[in-house]
Every structure is written in structure tokens, then in C-alpha cells.
Chains A and B, each alone.
Chain A
Amino acid sequence: MRGLATMAVEAATGEGQGAAARALRRVLSVRWVLYVAGPITMLGAWQYASDAFATKQLFPGPSETFRAFARLVASKQLALDTLASLRRIGLGFAIGSISGFLVGLTAGYVPLVRHLLYPYIHFLRFISAIAWLSMALLWFGTGETGKVALITYTTTFVVMVNVMAGVASIPVNRLRSARCFGATEWQIFAQVVLPSTLGYFFDGARLAMANSFATVVTAEMLAAQSGLGYLILVSRQWLAVDEIFVGIIVLGILGWLTDRVLVSLTDNRFRRHRLRS
């Protein structure tokens, strides 16, 4: 008779065929039960923990956070700040993706460029955009330009590195067969290289988007008068942790949304172009 632990483990891992394991698995295999139970129990635990906490203001629960959310929406504050952040990200991301794509293609195509850029890439890799914030503030002032510049910088970097990797991983036989069929260099570029690298470009774009959010939030916390980062900062000064939570949650939703948009762009139109999931 194998132990209870063994049966439980077998049920959990999907292996094993004892009767008890199968029964347990049938109950737990209702995935959706768990998918729903997770967030619900967590929200409940959050509320409980916050109620048990001494100073309610310092650790609000879901209900307090929701009330703060309603307040911020009503006062239009949330919308204004969200738009401010999104505007900065949008501009920087757009410029950065295009320039990153172009530079990445060039560097991938021409080994000379790649070798020249190599030391800079491998050093700057460890210097985040935020480390440049001080210089950006001194050079561009505290207005929009500095923040957009930082976002452009990080987006260009991430996209460029990914596109370079993409060009480098085009299977040689793809190029060779195009040549067999007599394609000109331009045709090869447009019909073989470009589609092959699109997948890598979008992977880079997704990463860059996450970086951009982090960058903009920090920049807004340190040197801005609007934006979600600024909202969070101000809320901290008033110790309004419920509004901090609202800001954080909105950031999460925005990040998830933008990621979904990027993923859907690739899945629907370019699914066959993407060889990597």
C-alpha cells in the first residue's frame, strides 16, 4: 500500500494510476475552479490582513482601494495622470522602435557595424535608462523632452539588440534558396530578411514596453508634475496608501493591455512569420 503522500503527489503531477489518484485528479483538474478560486481567496486574504492591521491607512484592503479608485476617477485625476504617462511612453516607444529596428537591421547586416557597436552594447546593457535621468534632467530640463528621450533610449536599445539577434539567426538555407531562385538583394531583403526578423522585433517591442513603463514611472516620481508615477509619489507624501495601490493596479492593467495589444498584432497578422512563441 503506497503512502498517502505518494498518491497525492501522483495526482498532482498527473502521473500514476491508482484509484485515489484518479479521483483526486478529477476534482482538481477542473482548472477553472482554481483559476477563479485563486484571485478570490487572495482578495479575501488581503481584506482580512488589512482589517487585522493596526493602522488602516497604512494597509488598506480591496474595498478601501476601490473607494479610492472611484474617488480618483470622479475627480478626473486618474484619467489625466494616465494620459500623461501614456503620452510620454507612446512617443518615446514609437521613435525608439523605429530607430531600434533600423539600427538593428544595419548592425545585423553589416558585421563591421556590429563589431563597432559591440563594446557599447555590452557595457550599456547594465546601465538602465534611469541611471541617465540626472543627465537627462540637466540637458533637457524637467519637461517632457527628457522623459521621452529616456524612453526612446531604452526602447531603441532593447529593440536593436533583439533585431540584431533576429538577423543573425536567419537560417542560411533560406537565403541560399532565395538566391537559387534568382532573387535580387533587394528582393531578398524585403521578402526573406524582413519577415524573418519581424518576430524578433515584436519580442523586443514587448520587452521594451515593460522597460518603458518602469522608466516613465521612476522619472515621474523623481521629476514631474503629472503622470502615474507622480500620483504615486504624492500619495506617498500624504501616506494615502490606498491611492498608491490604485496607481500600482492601474499600472499593472496598462502594462497588461499594451502587452496584449502587441501580442495580438503578431498573432493575428504575422503568426506564420514568427517562429518563436
Chain B
Amino acid sequence: MAVLFRTLRRERQTLSGWLPNVSAPTTAVGLAVCSVVVGLALWQVLAGWAMRSPLFPTPAETVHAFVRHAASGKLLGDVNASMARLLIGWSVGGLWGIALGLAMGAFRPVRYYFEPAIQFLRFIPGIAWITPFTVWWGVGELSKVMLILYTSTFIVMLNTMMGVFALPPARIRAARCFEAGPFDIFFHVTLPSTVPFIVTGLRISMGNSFMILVAAEMLASDRGLGFLIFNSRSYLATDLIFVGIITLGALGLASDFVFHSLAARLLRRYRYR
């Protein structure tokens, strides 16, 4: 506590800390790496010495389990199952979301018509829909894909709408000066202006889809990472649970990174960064 107060007092112009060059990028990376290493070591110590119970796997055991599971090909099977559902639902849902969002953003009557329904539906947790979906479409792929499709559509639609509303009116007025018709305005002004919002919506919905997918797989599936995580509990295979969790985090991180980098490079002109 005293350290914190000293920190605050020593501060000059901005809220900087007590290590003088902490803002340098190399120091930041160094600290991050240290933090991870220390964290892993702590984990090993806690799990290996302090607790030593099957309920708390050590990093070493987790790595072992990972290698085992990966070598047997089952991990790949789980990953494939999860990613396939995710990608199909996310991409189709995203397309729907773009179309709906543009329609609602550009045509005020459409928006007014759907607005009360949307303002209510957005508060229903997506995962709650897995129950009726499994009743209607069984425990197979369709119910999960539909769930991800639904949640993706929603998020992308909201973001796209936001993008249409954020359009500077001067852009449209300039086009009207040049006697552009309404369809010209839509394709040459509205659509390109909305691109960064659409991409942001797709990115957010991808992260969200991972979360919903895990829950759905726990509830109604016999394959996939969520299934791996939940099912391993019955065998007290906590190392496998951790494998599932970490693979999930890594997959999410990788997908987000790939998507964001690709989009930033290809769509730099449209002001997506």
C-alpha cells in the first residue's frame, strides 16, 4: 500500500509508475514474458508441492496430457469439430448481419419496425436458445450452427447499423451535388463507409461465438472442445480439462489475430486499423 502511495506522489505529469523506463516497448515485452514465466512457475509449485491433488494438475501434467491427446488424433478431431461449427455459423451469420444491418441503417421504416423486438431480444443470453434449438434440430451439428448463426447475425447487425448512423452527412451531400442516384450513393458512399464497422462487428462476434460454442458443446454434443472440457470431469481427468481450456484460449487468440491482421492489411483504405 505504501508503495502505491509513493508511486502516486512521485508522478510528474502523467500517471506513470515508479520504474523510469517502464513505458519503453522492450521493457513492456520483457515484463510480460517475466510475468508468464513466474506465473507458470507458481502454478507448478502450487499444484506440484502445495496441493498435490488430482483436482489440480501441474503444468507438466497438462503438457503430457496435451501431447497424449494430440498424438492420438482426438484433439484434432475435437478442434475440427468445434472450428467447423464456428466458422460456418459465424460466416453465414455475419453475411446475414451485414445485410440486415445495412437495410435497417439505410431505411428508417425498417429500423423502426424491428427496433422494439431487437431491443428486447438482445437481452436474452444466446445460450438460452440452445434448448429450443436442440428440441427442434436435435443434438447434431445443425442446432449449434444455428445458435452461432443467430448470435453472429445479431452482433454484426448492431455494429453495421452503428456504422450507417456514423456516416458523416457531408459525404452523402457531396455525392448528391454530383447527381448520384440513391443506389449509387449506397454502393459508392454508404457501403465503403460502413466497412470498418462491419469488420469490427465480425471480430466481436467471432469472440462471442467461441464462448457460445463452448457452452453449447458442453450442453448438447458428443464432440468438440466444450465436450472435452465437460466430459473429462466425469473421469476426474483435470489435466485434459486444462488441455481443453488452453486449446480453446489459443484457438480464440489465433483466430482473432489472423482475422484482425488480414483485415487491417487488406482494408487499410477503408479506415480499418
Contact = CB atoms under 8 A, between A and B. Distances in A.
Given A37-B113, A112-B17, A115-B28, A122 B233 contact: no
A271 interface: no
B123 A221 contact: no
Interface in A100-127: 106, 108-113, 115-120, 122-127
Interface string B241-265: 1101100110111001000000000
B13 A176 contact: yes
Interface stretch (A72-80, A90-98, A244-252, A261-269): A244-252
B229 A256 contact: no
B253 A123 contact: yes
A185 B8 contact: yes
B107 A35 contact: no
B127 A217 contact: yes
A252 B113 contact: no
B131 A233 contact: yes
B112 A12 contact: no
A189 interface: yes
A217 B125 contact: yes
B56 to A, nearest CB: 8
B218 interface: yes
A172 interface: yes
B115 A38 contact: yes
Interface of B is mostly: helix
Contacts of B31: 112, 115-116, 118
Interface string A195-235: 00000000000000010011001100110000001001101
Contacts, number: 216
Contacts of A122: 253
B256 A131 contact: no
Task: Give the size category of A's interface with B.
Answer: 35 or more
Contacts of B90: none
B2 interface: no
Interface residues of B, number: 80
A131 B131 contact: no
Interface stretch (B61-69, B93-101, B132-140, B193-201): B132-140
Contacts of A167: 15
Contact of B120 (A10, A58, A106, A256): A256
Given A6-B182, A12-B108, A38-B113, A131 B129 contact: no
B112 A185 contact: no
A210 B215 contact: no
A148 to B, nearest CB: 17
Interface of A is mostly: helix
Nearest to B245: A131
B109 A222 contact: no
A260 B7 CA distance: 38
Contacts of B125: 210, 213-214, 217, 251, 255
B83 to A, nearest CB: 13
B219 interface: yes
A218 B219 contact: yes
Interface of B: 4-5, 7-9, 11, 13-19, 22-23, 27-28, 31-36, 39, 55, 106-110, 112-117, 119-121, 123-129, 131-132, 134-136, 172, 176, 181-183, 207, 210-211, 214-215, 218-219, 226, 229-230, 232-233, 236, 238, 241-242, 244-245, 248-249, 251-253, 256
- The list of the 9 closest CB pairs from A to B, nearest first, reads A126-B252, A255-B123, A128-B211, A34-B112, A214-B125, A115-B31, A252-B124, A9-B182, A185-B8
15 contacts: A6-B181, A12-B107, A13-B107, A34-B109, A38-B115, A109-B4, A109-B8, A111-B17, A118-B31, A119-B32, A125-B252, A127-B252, A175-B15, A232-B128, A248-B129
Given A38-B117, A134-B230, A241-B132, 9 more contacts: A35-B116, A38-B116, A112-B19, A126-B249, A130-B214, A214-B127, A218-B215, A218-B219, A252-B121
